[in-house]
């Protein structure tokens, strides 16, 4: 037997004695070291890798787990498997063409630049110059900031086109297109739906990728990010039930679609906890969706005072439709020498700054995550990758003293 053939046979024998997951682990490590996936890149799905290597998911998982354990990879529930420690390019011109999105949401660490730098126009009605303390302006600012940071981490740049300055959404989008941006993001959070419709109507006339961020799902197939109101209501009721409250009170001095969706979610949480419908009582007011001329805090004060007088408030877990309404409940409680978190539980929505100051538990929209997700979708579209038409994100409960366990 020739020396070369003998060496080949020996190598084959050694190959057969090495477990499949070890061979996959070594191969993945080599591919990362060679720069096929750079630091911050997202690996193909586990199912795709298992098919590529011709093994089952359990075998592939053992290989991935070893790389996660030593810090080479990072497992993200929302993104998949990310290269946490890999090759870094010295110049964006030499990066390989198969890089997936390098964005790492929630991480302040720098990530590798993408192969091409892009200029992204952000069309939004921030109204920061009109009402900087306004909740909607605060929300838009948080989302826009996260979007800009994510784009910057990817190596791209952005410019804000505030449609309050341009006289409308369409003029702002047109101005961005005239400036020859590579793509646009429309931030239409908590806008009047007619404004959203106007902005969306211009998309067909744009010659570059567009991603839309809204507070409700769109009824047309455009790439967009939004968050779910029913799940927010579900989380609210579930949190209070977990805190030990066996009677819930939903305070709704206003009526609106988003209020009904949050109520539906709360009812579902009660149902799935195998509790009777009567566990959740609802106070319904006569007002339509909150308007600038309606004092939401005063409405929260008035309706909570009424439920207290009727014996419904004390010892209940109270779900206020938003933080402003909940702050009115706190004002009322203090006037009656009651303490949220002790005499009753209280939770709101939106996580406005004063919620933290007053110890109010609040269901916070995924503001920053929406900006980061929009950036990820846009970069993938610019790189020619397939992009999902919808990305539905979910809120989180920011727990504070007003829902201390019973």
Each residue of 59-89: pLDDT tens digit?
888 888 888 878 888 877 666 788 887 644 3
- Assign a CATH topology to domain 119-222: Rossmann fold (3.40.50)
Pick from 93-97, 179-183, 308-312: least confident: 93-97
pLDDT band at 92 (very low <50, low <70, confident <90, very high): very low
Angle between helices 229-242 and 257-272 (to 10 degrees): 40
pLDDT at 14 over 50: no
Q: For residues 372-376, give the mean pLDDT.
A: 92
User: Residue 250 has what pLDDT?
Assistant: 97
CATH superfamily label, 229-365+398-403: Response regulator (3.40.50.2300)
Model confidence pLDDT, tens digit, residues 172-203: 888 888 888 889 898 888 777 777 887 788 77
Quick one: 205 exposed, middle or buried, by C-beta within 10 A (0-12, 13-18, 19+)?
exposed
Q: Cite the beta strand spans of 189-268 per DSSP E.
A: 210-214, 224-227, 248-254
User: Residue 65 has what pLDDT?
Assistant: 84
User: Residue 77 has what pLDDT?
Assistant: 63
User: Residue 288 has what pLDDT?
Assistant: 55
Distances (CA, A) of 367 to 54, 331, 364: 40, 28, 8
User: Residue 1 has what pLDDT?
Assistant: 43
Neighbours of 193 (CB within 10 A): 12
What's phi and psi for 180, nearest 5 deg? Answer: 65, 45
User: Residue 361 has what pLDDT?
Assistant: 98
User: Residue 20 has what pLDDT?
Assistant: 82
Distances (CA, A) of 207 to 122, 173, 369: 15, 11, 27
User: Residue 103 has what pLDDT?
Assistant: 29
User: Residue 275 has what pLDDT?
Assistant: 95
pLDDT higher at 78 or 278: 278
Model confidence pLDDT, tens digit, residues 209-218: 889 998 888 8
User: Residue 9 has what pLDDT?
Assistant: 39
pLDDT band at 17 (very low <50, low <70, confident <90, very high): low
pLDDT at 108 over 80: no
Q: Distance between CA atoms of 273 and 256, rounded to whole angstroms?
A: 26
pLDDT higher at 54 or 14: 54
Q: Where are the domains of the chain?
A: 3-94, 119-222, 229-365+398-403
pLDDT at 290 over 60: no
User: Residue 347 has what pLDDT?
Assistant: 97
pLDDT at 5 over 80: no
Give the sign of the dihedral formed by CA 54, CA 59, CA 61, CA 63.
negative
pLDDT at 235 over 90: yes
Tokens 């010892």 belong to which residue? 315
CB 325 within 8 Å of CB 350 = no
Distances (CA, A) of 232 to 143, 266, 273, 348, 350: 18, 8, 16, 10, 10
pLDDT higher at 315 or 41: 315
User: Residue 297 has what pLDDT?
Assistant: 92
pLDDT higher at 278 or 175: 278
Model confidence pLDDT, tens digit, residues 327-342: 999 999 999 999 999 9
pLDDT band at 105 (very low <50, low <70, confident <90, very high): very low
Q: For residues 215-233, give the mean pLDDT.
A: 87
- Fold agreement (3-94, 119-222): no
pLDDT band at 130 (very low <50, low <70, confident <90, very high): very low
User: Residue 3 has what pLDDT?
Assistant: 41
Q: Distance between CA atoms of 176 and 41, rounded to whole angstroms?
A: 29
Q: For residues 221-246, give the mean pLDDT.
A: 92
pLDDT at 343 over 80: yes
Model confidence pLDDT, tens digit, residues 41-64: 788 888 888 888 888 888 888 888
- Domain 3-94: give its CATH architecture: Orthogonal Bundle (1.10)
């Amino acid at each position: 037997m020739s020396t070369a053939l003998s060496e080949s046979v020996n190598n084959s024998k050694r190959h057969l004695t090495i477990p499949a997951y070890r061979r996959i682990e070594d191969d993945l490590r080599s591919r990362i070291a060679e720069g096929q996936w750079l630091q911050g890149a997202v690996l193909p799905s586990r199912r795709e890798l298992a098919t590529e290597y011709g093994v089952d998911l359990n075998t592939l998982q053992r290989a991935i787990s070893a790389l996660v354990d030593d810090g080479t990879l990072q497992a993200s529930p929302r993104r998949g498997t990310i290269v946490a420690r890999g090759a870094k390019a010295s110049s964006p011109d030499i990066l390989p063409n198969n890089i997936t999105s390098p964005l790492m949401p929630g991480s302040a660490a720098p990530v590798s630049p993408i192969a091409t730098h892009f200029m992204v126009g952000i069309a939004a009605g921030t109204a920061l110059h009109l009402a900087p303390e306004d909740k909607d302006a605060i929300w838009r600012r948080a989302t826009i900031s996260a979007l800009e940071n994510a784009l910057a981490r990817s190596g791209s740049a952005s410019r804000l086109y505030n449609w309050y300055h341009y006289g409308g959404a369409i003029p702002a989008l047109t101005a961005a297109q005239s400036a020859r941006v590579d793509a646009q993001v429309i931030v239409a959070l908590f806008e009047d739906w007619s404004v959203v419709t106007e902005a969306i109507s211009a998309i067909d006339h744009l010659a570059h990728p567009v991603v839309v961020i809204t507070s409700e799902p769109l009824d047309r197939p455009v790439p967009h990010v939004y968050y779910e109101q029913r799940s927010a209501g579900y989380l609210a009721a579930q949190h209070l039930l977990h805190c030990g409250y066996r009677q819930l009170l939903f305070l709704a001095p206003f009526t609106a679609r988003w209020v009904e969706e949050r109520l539906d979610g709360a009812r579902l949480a009660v149902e799935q906890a195998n509790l009777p419908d009567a566990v959740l009582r609802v106070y319904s007011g006569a007002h339509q969706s909150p308007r600038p001329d309606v004092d939401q805090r005063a409405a929260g004060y008035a309706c909570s005072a009424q439920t207290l007088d009727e014996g419904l408030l004390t010892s209940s877990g109270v779900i206020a439709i938003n933080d402003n309404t909940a702050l009115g409940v706190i004002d009322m409680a203090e006037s009656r020498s009651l303490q949220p978190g002790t005499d009753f539980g209280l939770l709101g929505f939106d996580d406005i700054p004063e919620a933290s100051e007053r110890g109010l538990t609040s269901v916070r929209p995924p503001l920053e995550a929406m900006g980061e997700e929009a950036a990820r979708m846009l970069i993938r579209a610019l790189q020619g990758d397939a992009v999902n038409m919808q990305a539905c994100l979910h809120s989180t409960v920011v727990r504070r003293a007003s829902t201390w366990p019973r």
